[in-house]
Structure 1
Amino acid sequence: MPTKSSQLSRRERQIMDIIYVRGEATAAEVVESMTDAPSYSAVRAFLRILEEKGFLKHREDGKRYVFLPTEPREKASKSALKQVVQTFFDGSLASAVAALVDGREKISDEELKRLEEIIQKAKKR
């Protein structure tokens, strides 16, 4: 079953990333933050589409619309990560973690300790 985040195009994901980093943004601020930005009117169209899809909401600030995400970044990132694990690793958490770990030259002691704690906690459940 596709997740909400799988409904996003590359540009829509790029815009959502900008809004999550900033916390909120106007269309002009999104354009400023984008590399190879499309036109201002195209960004406004993307923002409207993202709002229709339920990813964004807006508040009015004078004549400007200020866009905000409808769900916290942590919740959205978990949903997106679940989709990546399902799509690219056939749902295997171990394969996904292995790909992340194998791709790093050095893992800090703090990260290793945190991973060990997560595994121990999972074993207890």
Structure 2
Amino acid sequence: MRPLTEREEEVMNFFWESGALSVRDVVALHNEPHPSRTTVATFVKFLEQKGYLDHKAESTGFIYFPIIEREDYCGQNLKSVIRRYFDNSIQNVVNFLIKSEEYSDEEAKEIILQISNRGKE
């Protein structure tokens, strides 16, 4: 899976949230000021070339739809971050999170519960 730029990811999020869209639809979904149709069409073309989107022809033009699920993309990115920045170690990730204190007590309890219930289902 080829990585996405920040702008490509932004465009891809519209497809993951809405499903099949035309270029015109993507332009309309952007906040003001809307990007040009040509700019969006270029990003859609790149996303299709990278294997994230496919299209079908309809009477009004092409409709594009995601062929990579958001969960698959996020999972691949997370694995890459763990590999690159945490020596491919989940324990290093957990240690980092514990030290950063970027979580609530409730989240910590839920994580501990999920770990202790792992494999019991």
Shorter-chain TM-score above 0.5: yes
Residues 116, 19 of structure 1: alpha-carbon distance in 2 compared, 3 angstrom cutoff: same
Residues in 2 aligned to 1:9 and 1:91: alpha-carbon distance in whole angstroms: 23
> For the aligned residues, what is the CA RMSD?
2.6
The answer to whether 1:25 aligns with 2:24 is no
Q: Which one-letter code corresponds to 1:29 in the other structure?
A: D
Percent identity reads: 26
Give the equivalent residue in structure 1 for 2:88.
Answer: 91
Q: Which runs of 5+ in 2 are unaligned?
A: none
2:106 maps to 108
Which residue, out of 43, 50, 73, partners 2:40?
43
> Please, what TM-score do these two structures have when normalized by structure 2?
0.75
After TM superposition, where is structure 1 displaced by more than 6 Å over at least 4 residues in a row? none
Report the TM-score when normalising by structure 1: 0.73
* Higher Cα Rg, which structure: 2
Where does structure 1 lack aligned partners over 5 or more consecutive residues?
none
The answer to whether the 8 Å contact 1:57/1:68 transfers is yes
